[in-house]
Amino acid sequence: MINKLDMMSDIQEILLTEEQISARIKELGAQITEDYRGKELVLIGILKGVVPFYAAMAQAIDLQLQQDFMSVSSYGAGTVSSGKLIIRKDIDIDIEGKDVLILEDILDSGRTLRGVVQMFEARRPASVKICTLLDKPAGRVENVAAAYSGFVVPDAFVVGYGLDYAGYYRNLPFVGVLKPSVYQD
């Protein structure tokens, strides 16, 4: 069993500190509070990577809102998108007529969010928008844009603050680049 300090030896570079992330979340929360005033906001988080971001965003938005989660995956255990969307858990809330804001950890190829947005749109919500903590434009395959984006990240595999490699590193408090030697043989 290794601890967080041991996990640090797999990190090449810290991209975003806990402080930077929390300051940006406050800004996003204030913006969303303005934009959704008077609307029926439903925050839908894409599990599992979104968990820390979701918790902080829900606190940063000063509005009455509903919360739900969905579990989908376009990745196996690797670091390259397979392009296959698997729905493991759907939301419980009826979103018809409501303003849906999808929260995601990272927008990479856009395949996951394109699939999720299409699925939600069929349920006739008033609106569907995306709020992503990280945006990796270099990976984009689908024409998907986030209405709210925390940070643009370079074309590297990042972990921490919810983001994983093979299920690990999610509980690091920062976002860092994973050393390629960790996933290359």
Cβ atoms of residues 135 and 148 within 8 Å = no
| SS3 per-residue string spanning 10-55 | HEEEEEECHHHHHHHHHHHHHHHHHHCCCCCEEEEEEECCCHHHHH
Q: Which does 149 bind (CB under 5 to 8 A by kind): Mg ion, ligand IMP, none?
A: none
Closest CA to 81 of 118, 53, 110, 102: 110
Stretch of 21-29, 37-45, 86-94, 109-117 contacting ligand IMP, by CB under 6 A? 109-117
Cis peptide before 48, with omega less than 30 degrees from 0?
yes
Does the protein bind ligand IMP through residue 10 (CB under 6 A)? no
Rounded to the nearest whole angstrom, what is the least distance from the CB of residue 85 to Mg ion in the complex?
Answer: 13
For residue 159, give Cα distances in angstroms to 10, 16, 123, 182: 10, 11, 33, 12
Among 61, 163, 174, 176, binds ligand IMP (CB under 6 A): 163
108 annotated active-site: yes
Q: Which does 108 bind (CB under 5 to 8 A by kind): ligand IMP, Mg ion, none?
A: ligand IMP
Of residues 27-86, those binding ligand IMP (CB under 6 A):
49, 74-75, 81
Q: Residue for token digits 């979701």?
A: 54
- At residue 135, the 3 state secondary structure works out as strand
Q: Which does 101 bind (CB under 5 to 8 A by kind): Mg ion, ligand IMP, none?
A: none
Q: What is the distance between the terminal CA atoms of the chain, rounded to a whole angstrom?
A: 22
Does the protein bind ligand IMP through residue 150 (CB under 6 A)? no
Of residues 39-58, those binding Mg ion (CB under 5 A):
49
Does the protein bind ligand IMP through residue 108 (CB under 6 A)? yes
Closest CA to 101 of 135, 76, 136, 65: 65
Q: Which residue's CB is nearer to ligand IMP, number 62 or number 171?
A: 171
List active site positions. Answer: 108
**Which residues of this chain interact with ligand IMP, rule CB under 6 A?**
49, 74-75, 81, 104-112, 136, 157-159, 163
